[in-house]
Amino acid sequence: MRTMLPMLLAAAVAAPPAPAKEKPMASVRVSQRDRRYLELSDGRPYVPIGLNMIQPPWKGDADARLAGMTQWMEKLSANGGNYIRVWLSADFWDVEHARSGEYDAAKAGRIDAMLAAARKHGIRVKMTLEHFRDFFNPHRQWVNKPIHHVSKGGPAKDVADFFDGEKPRAQFRRKLAWYAKRYGDEPIVFGWELWNEVNCVRGGDTMAWTEAMLAELGRLFPRNLAMQSLGSFDTAGKRAMYRRLSTMKGNDVAQVHRYLDLGARLEVCHGPVDVLAAEAVRELLAAKPGRPVILAESGAVEKSHSGPFKLYAKDTAGVILHDVLFAPFFAGAAGTGQIWHWDHYVAKNDLWWHFGRFAEAVKGIDPPAERFQPSMAPHDRLRVYVLTGARTTLAWCRDTRNTWKAELADGKAPEKLAGLSVTLGKDAGKLEGATLRTYDPWTHRWRPAAARAGAIPLPAFQRSLILRIDRKPD
């Protein structure tokens, strides 16, 4: 040993240093600096910019379909997107499809491949666990999952028993444990959502079940967010349910779904998309949930959700998508609104560039540090959504006369607005020494701006414009 020691020391000196260990990937959490916003576990801000991408394109074999979804992810990521929502219960991913309580390794391999693509492109994935609403509905096959009925070897006598019975609950917990064993330490997962629109299930105390299963998600997935969703907020009767879920223990994110729907009972759902989206966010904020608010599903549908909006075909400029993205954040949400029709509308009309325009508008912004306060500034032609922060003020100026109805239904081209200015009230006195700029998300152009007697003149624009004020630190 004595004769070998000098040789070992020499070899240690001559050997190259061991490569530095790669930092583990940070996960998404509710911000510890401002609980209305999100951040990464290493403290960096995280603003979710993305959409629902429930499953891959329909055509082709599994490999071809996965490749198609990867292409969507590439386009989203190239435009600043960092988030998607996937339904694990969709046929393409569903590991529990043959028999209740049995899990298909081949289908799990598809989920693995999807998450690998998400990691490559920096996209966090919200994993929605279930969406079925019935066992045997002859008129709506997509809502059925008969394998859980006792006649098919499942644990539940009926849908109510699935949610209320201890045996079905125990089996669902085992399913969560199966997912936790496979993905429980996966930071690319944004979070776990128990159900898509659980109030649409006919039978059982779904809210009591939600409380129990949110606790289980928190236990099994401590590094990921836990959440639940309800159906479109299109009637006044859903207000109480939304408030209950928004403040429910264990529900990390207060989510809301709302669509442009001419069959909805609430009149707001018939009007401008920015208004219906912003109001949905304000409804949840008014409940003081003490957690981030997200417009998790939006877009436009034919009456009473009877199909995708027929005017999508005319919306090649992406007016509806623009409003879904911008309005929620400027009303106080933690991220963009998340459109539903990823294939029929976004991909078909090649509207991925809109995500990049939102990303550009908020570039370098740290919402938890800013502690933004949302408000509206008065104007006779614009809806001016204002976020006033510690160092930065953002204002989204939306032409009130340019709506989906005017541009898509009535065929009125957006008017070029010139000679307008905005006044931001109490912030007018904070403009001295600040840097003022405008950003046109339709032309992708920044311009310097300046205040005149408290008012800020705006350059000519169509549809909408962003005003950004960066103040020097005190």
User: How do beta strands 456-457 and 421-422 pair?
Assistant: antiparallel
Q: What is the mean pLDDT of the chain?
A: 94
| Token digits of residue 412 | 């009125």
375-470 shares the fold of 28-369: no
| Token digits of residue 456 | 């800020």
Distance between CA atoms of residues 256 and 254, nearest Å: 7
Indicate the CATH number of 28-369 among 3.40.50.1220, 2.60.260.20, 3.60.15.10, 3.20.20.80: 3.20.20.80
Question: Three-state DSSP class for 49?
Answer: coil
Q: DSSP letter for 144, please.
A: B
DSSP string across 386-450: EEE-SSEEEEEEEETT--HIIIIIS-PPPPEE-S-EE--GGGGGG-TT-EEEEEETTTTEEEEE-
Query: Looking at residue 202, what is its pLDDT?
Result: 86
The CATH architecture assigned to 375-470 reads Sandwich (2.60)
- Give, in degrees to the nearest 5, the angle at Cα 146 between 129 and 174: 45
User: For the whole model, what pTM was predicted?
Assistant: 0.94
What would the pLDDT profile of 372-381 be if each residue is shown by its tens digit? 999 999 999 9
Write down the domain spans for the chain. Answer: 28-369, 375-470
pLDDT classification of 182: cutoffs 50, 70, 90 = very high
Query: Looking at residue 431, what is its pLDDT?
Result: 83
Which residue has 């479109």 as its token pair?
232
What would the pLDDT profile of 1-53 be if each residue is shown by its tens digit? 333 333 333 333 344 444 445 568 999 999 999 999 999 999 999 999 999 99
What would the pLDDT profile of 94-134 be if each residue is shown by its tens digit? 999 999 999 999 999 999 999 999 999 999 999 999 999 99
Helix (H) or strand (E) run with residue 328 in it: helix 319-330
Length of the chain in terms of residues written = 474
What would the pLDDT profile of 58-101 be if each residue is shown by its tens digit? 999 999 999 999 999 999 999 999 999 999 999 999 999 999 99
Q: How many CA atoms lie within 13 A of 464 on its CB side?
A: 28
Is 277 within 8 Å of 317 (Cβ atoms)? no
